[in-house]
Amino acid sequence: MRAGAKLGFFLLFAPLVLWLGLLIVIPHIDMFLVSIRERIGVAEYQTSLANYLTFFTEPLYLVTFLRTAMMSILATALTLVIGFPVSFYIAKIAKGRLQSALFLLTLVPFYVSELVRTFGWMILLRETGLFSTLLQWLGLADQPVEMLYNDVAMMVGLVYTSMLFMVVPLITTMESLDDSVIEAGYDLGGSGFSVMREIIIPHAMPGIVSGSIIVFMLSLGNYLTPTMLGGKDSLWFTELIYSQFIVRFNWELGAAFGFMLLFLSSLIVWGTLKLTGQTLEKTMG
Amino acid sequence: MKTIHRRTALLLSAASIATLGFATAASAETLRLLTWGGYAPENVIALFEQETGHKVEVTLSNNEEMIAKLRATGGGGFDLAQPSQDRIAGPQAEFGIYKPIDLSKIDAGQFIGSMLEATKANTTVGGEVFGVPHVWGTSGLVVDTAKAPGVKDYTDLCNAEMAGKVSYRLKRPTLIGFAYAMGLDPFAAYGDEAAYKAIIDQVEAKLVECKPGVKTYWSGGDELLNLMRSGEAVAAMAWDTGGWKLNADNPDITFVAPASGALGWIDTFVLPAKGKADQAAYDWINFVMQPEVAAMITEVAGNFTASKGADEFVSAELKARYQASFPPEAVDNIKWYPPVPAGLEVLEGAALDRVKAAN
Amino acid sequence: MTDPILESVSLSKRFGNFVAVDDVSFSVPEGSFFSILGPSGCGKTTIMRMIAGFLEPTSGDILIRGRSILDVPPNKRPVNMVFQHLALFPMMNIEGNIGYGLRRKGMEKAEIAARVGEVLERIGLPGIGKRKVDELSGGQKQRVAIARCMVMEPDVLLLDEPLGALDLKLREHMKIELKQLQSDFGTTFIYITHDQSEALVMSDQIAVMNQGRFEQIGSGRDLYYRPGTAFVAGFVGEANRWRGKVTRAQGGGLQLTTEAGLVITGADHGRGLRVGEEAEIFVRPEAIRIGHAVSDVAHFSNQMSGSVGSLLFNGAASRAMLRPAGGGDEIEVALPQSGEFSALKRGDEVHIGWEAEQANAFAYDPTAAAATAKASGTGGT
């Protein structure tokens, strides 16, 4: 009997273990081994930390990482600022059909691929695009306006791409807040602002934290949006990794970059959780 | 290299058609082909499958991705790949992702002899030949001649009056092209890493200086075509076919061979190290090198092939565009890419990263 | 009597075509415990939310100390509310919950702490300020919810069925405690419930509400013994009811003949029922006397005999269900507490009787009949 139960246990856990082992753990070990390899000649390698050293000694790489991280944090903050009122409206103010319809509307952009969405923005923002033409037609601009290929365009794209991942956890947590708790806040003399600050935001905190983590990680790991909308100034850290792997054939440095990205982004998330006094358990529970 | 351009010019006026009996393969195989857009048109595949019984599965890619894919699998997953001839020797020496070509199974008579010999020479590693030529072309400038008549060479893209209206890629052809336009000779420095680095450093400085005037660094062919077609960019570094495609829509826009010389590339056939359908691969090579079939590919891809006599079957329109862009002296001035020594890409990559990051 | 602290003048609220509150006027004296009793959906919560400021009346006015508060936003009204599910703030501890309103007033921290300590003392839960909301029992939460409002020293405290979520035993206990708290604080309570026993036990005045209208306002005693309408008679307390035609009417006394031919005498208490009118008669179970012999009930104007159909033992409130000899619905009769009938069994023959005075007659009103039937079906707690 005992042996049978044990076998059952192993059979149940086998898919998970295989999934984690084959698709996550083993590739990462392999990647790590690649990252501590230094090329010293044609098809000749030795173990060293030279690749990691390169990351810290070549200012370009560190600066690119910092820029990527700062932009991702900004994108996360903007997504939160825009997504919060939207989620609040959907979760607490809209009722019945309107609520489902609005929720569906936030999902609709994700029915098409990220590539198509990004192209959509390019069509809108480019010099001969819709906005530029509209501005000229309205007489607000006397020549074509280029809105593409800058950090603002990239930020618009990042926020747009991330919105759903902020809105869904926010709606879920805010829906669980009893309307009467909000009413009680007003009833006891609270203003709109203080009800928001003392009741709604603290209640939505787990949603804010999980949404922010997801959006930050997605922005940090985004490749398409920065390269396509950001244009010539938009060096993004993932782009560095991509070019090391694909264009430069320098897997060793690319792997080291990959590990630095994993490590530093985890550090940022951990630090932010500490700073805001949140824990991962609270967020998941 | 010299022989190639002379033979290329010859190719355009050649009139011989090699008609060869095609032996149907004894056993049908599935050919997994890793290639560029336009190199394996539907109609050619249909003909091939009908004639040989093999099945063809096409995966579209570019030089870097082809090599990365093959490197990831140690040369598996595909039976035939088509990287450029300068990108074979280096990766082969470093990663061993190809297997030698059995030249006895190739019908050498279908190839333009000089191009075949040059490619063989450039793709030889350890005495074995790894590549045979297929499609060739050049990269240079695509210019809206009405709006940017002054653009004659790569460095003209930096002219003040062009600010905000030009685009190019941040890839190695840009470094090489600018180097030539600046009067340097990067190919001659391939063997000397220090000298090459000195050249790249100068180019890097020039590109950083030019950066404010660049509209964007394009990364895909369609992106470039859109930029030029919409008039948002009036001059760009690009492939010849891009210019010719645009020329069909707008006669003002065309491919211009730069004063310092267009850069010539040849895409090849190579056998991945772990390819399984070698017979099908050889059958495909021999099939598409037939002049009539090669002309069908030219019609789609826009570029000419190394098939002897194929231009006979190419439309007059395409030939006219080619001749407009390449007067005889421009053809002689084409700089053909020699094989890239392993390691230079790292140097170039760091320079390109710095250009991208520069403000 | 003091001036009313709260007055409602012809208050109405319409949602589209639906009239939730229909021309309701009442006034609540300062310091009293005022209940609004009615079945669910009768509009009582709508009145409450209009007083709190979460809904705007369609017409009419609400005055506090003689001044209209309609233009005052909910967070500025001198009114606080205890919500049905209490709505304590789960993100704050008890101290934070109770001090919330004071913080909004901009009170000093030390002062807030002192007031919170004081009110916790008064509700008998000193020292729980640092606990979390979900660490408290149901009754404790209840008291905290009231304390959270009481520190605000409101003119009127609104309570929206706050006992609904508690179990029976605790609810019985909290009824007494609420009344106690109300007289301790001396604050005016307006209490909403569908549970007549809550209303009867605690209130100084009760308004019985049905379909958006107030049927009757009065003390519990008035409502119970002198119901003004058929709805009140049916909804407040228990009653046996007969429907029939008035066959004789004379000086307040009348005679009703049911379809089954049963003749009952009753009183209309000045409602002026006329012969031929369709009417209903309500008789409380405890108004009916039970006897073993005919002679025991011979002096009553209504007499009947029957057999015991079933016995409902409930201590002091034990009942017997009698099957009348002449047929018709079972009659509910309260058993005297003397223990005289403790040996009563199913099937025993008994005699019953009651005074015409105790039989309240009302003109038959089909809508009220439907509403009470529904209310006693759903709100029988």
Domains of chain C: 4-225 (3.40.50.300), 230-376 (2.40.50.140)
Cβ-defined contact of B64 to A231 (cutoff 8 Å): no
Q: What is the pLDDT of residue B311?
A: 80
- The whole-number average pLDDT for the span B23-41 is 80
What is the rounded distance in angstroms from the CA atom of residue C49 to the CA atom of residue B271? 80
- The whole-number average pLDDT for the span A94-99 is 89
> What is the least distance, in Å, from the CA of A49 to any CA of chain C?
48
- The whole-number average pLDDT for the span B144-167 is 91
Q: What is the pLDDT of residue A284?
A: 58
**C54 touches A: beta carbon within 8 Å:** yes
What is the rounded distance in angstroms from the CA atom of residue A125 to the CA atom of residue A149? 9
B68 CB neighbours in chain A (<8 A) are 245-246, 249
Question: Helix (H, G, I), strand (E, B), or coil: what is residue A146?
Answer: coil
What is the rounded distance in angstroms from the CA atom of residue A242 to the CA atom of residue A245? 5
Q: C-alpha dihedral over A218, A224, A229, A234, to 10 degrees?
A: 80
Cβ-defined contact of A127 to B354 (cutoff 8 Å): no
Q: Spell out, as residue ranges, where chain C has pLDDT lower than 70.
A: 1-2, 368-381
Among A30, A242, A247, most B C-beta atoms within 10 A, so best to mutate, is A247
Q: Which two tokens stand for residue B102?
A: 């059995």
- Do B and C touch, counting CB pairs below 8 Å (3 needed)? no
Q: What is the pLDDT of residue C33?
A: 94
**Position A5 in a domain:** no
**What are the sequence ranges of the domains in chain B?**
6-130+265-332, 139-262+338-357
Q: What is the pLDDT of residue B10?
A: 38
Q: What b/e readout covers C136-166, taking b as 16+ CB neighbours within 10 angstroms?
A: beebbbbbbbbbbbbbbebbbbbbbbbbeeb
**Position A19 in a domain:** no
Q: Is the entire prediction scored with pTM above 0.90?
A: no
What is the rounded distance in angstroms from the CA atom of residue C358 to the CA atom of residue C361? 9
Q: What is the pLDDT of residue B22?
A: 43
Per the structure, the count of domains in chain A is 1
> What is the least distance, in Å, from the CA of C53 to any CA of chain A?
8
What domain range includes position A223?
Answer: 64-284
**Position A234 in a domain:** yes
What is the rounded distance in angstroms from the CA atom of residue B354 to the CA atom of residue A235? 10
Q: Which two tokens stand for residue C153?
A: 């020293």
Q: What b/e readout covers A55-90, taking b as 16+ CB neighbours within 10 angstroms?
A: beeeebbeebbebbbebbbebbebbbebbbebbbeb
C87: nearest CB among A180, A189, A194: A180
Chain A: residue whose CA lies nearest to C89: A181
Q: Round the CA-based radius of gyration of chain C to a whole number and report it.
A: 24
Nearest-10 crossing angle of helices A50-57, A59-88? 70
Judged by average pLDDT, the poorest of A19-28, B101-110, C21-30 is A19-28
Residue located via tokens 């098809």: A43
In this prediction, residue B292 has a pLDDT band, given cuts at 50, 70 and 90, of: very high
**Position A206 in a domain:** yes
Percent of chain A clearing pLDDT 90 (strictly above): 34
Q: Which sign, positive or negative, has the C-alpha torsion A159, A162, A168, A173?
A: negative
**Position A202 in a domain:** yes
How big is the CA angle at C259 (ends C256 and C263), to the nearest 5 degrees? 35
Question: Helix (H, G, I), strand (E, B), or coil: what is residue A285?
Answer: coil
Most confident region among A246-250, B14-18, C234-238 by mean pLDDT: C234-238
Whether pLDDT at B27 is above 80: no
Nearest Cα residue to C51 out of C35, C40, C64:
C64
Contact predicate A183/C88, CB 8 Å: no
What is the rounded distance in angstroms from the CA atom of residue A208 to the CA atom of residue A80? 7
Cβ-defined contact of A250 to B65 (cutoff 8 Å): no
- The whole-number average pLDDT for the span B71-98 is 91
With contact defined as 3+ CB pairs under 8 Å, the chains touching C are A
What is the rounded distance in angstroms from the CA atom of residue B15 to the CA atom of residue A237? 53
Q: Which two tokens stand for residue A179?
A: 């309307």
Q: Which two tokens stand for residue A71?
A: 């932009």
Nearest Cα residue to B228 out of B148, B127, B123, B122:
B148
Cβ-defined contact of A42 to B342 (cutoff 8 Å): yes
Judged by average pLDDT, the poorest of A111-115, B10-14, C112-116, C311-315 is B10-14
With contact defined as 3+ CB pairs under 8 Å, the chains touching B are A
What is the rounded distance in angstroms from the CA atom of residue C110 to the CA atom of residue C100? 14
Whether pLDDT at A131 is above 70: yes
8-state DSSP, B125:
E
CATH 3.40.190.10 is held by the domain B139-262+338-357: yes
Percent of chain B clearing pLDDT 90 (strictly above): 53
> What is the least distance, in Å, from the CA of B151 to any CA of chain A?
21
Looking up residue A139, the CATH number of its domain turns out to be: 1.10.3720.10
8-state DSSP, C26:
E
Written as one letter, the residue type at B38 is G
- Which positions ≥6 away from C130 have C-beta within 8 Å? C93, C94, C95
3-state secondary structure B240-302: HHHHHHHHHHCCCEEEECCCCCCEEEEEEEEEECCCCCHHHHHHHHHHHCCHHHHHHHHHHHC
Residue located via tokens 């063997």: B191
Contact predicate B343/B89, CB 8 Å: no
> What is the least distance, in Å, from the CA of C91 to any CA of chain A?
6
In this prediction, residue B24 has a pLDDT band, given cuts at 50, 70 and 90, of: very low
Mean of per-residue pLDDT scores for chain B: 87
CA distances from B204 to A227, A233, B197, C369 (A): 20, 15, 10, 94
Q: What is the pLDDT of residue C373?
A: 60
Q: Which two tokens stand for residue A80?
A: 């939160």
What is the rounded distance in angstroms from the CA atom of residue B283 to the CA atom of residue B297? 16
Give chain C's count of helices (H) and strands (E). 9, 20
What is the rounded distance in angstroms from the CA atom of residue A167 to the CA atom of residue A83? 6
- The whole-number average pLDDT for the span A168-177 is 92
Fold of domain B6-130+265-332: D-Maltodextrin-Binding Protein; domain 2 (3.40.190)
Q: What is the pLDDT of residue B209?
A: 93
With contact defined as 3+ CB pairs under 8 Å, the chains touching A are B, C
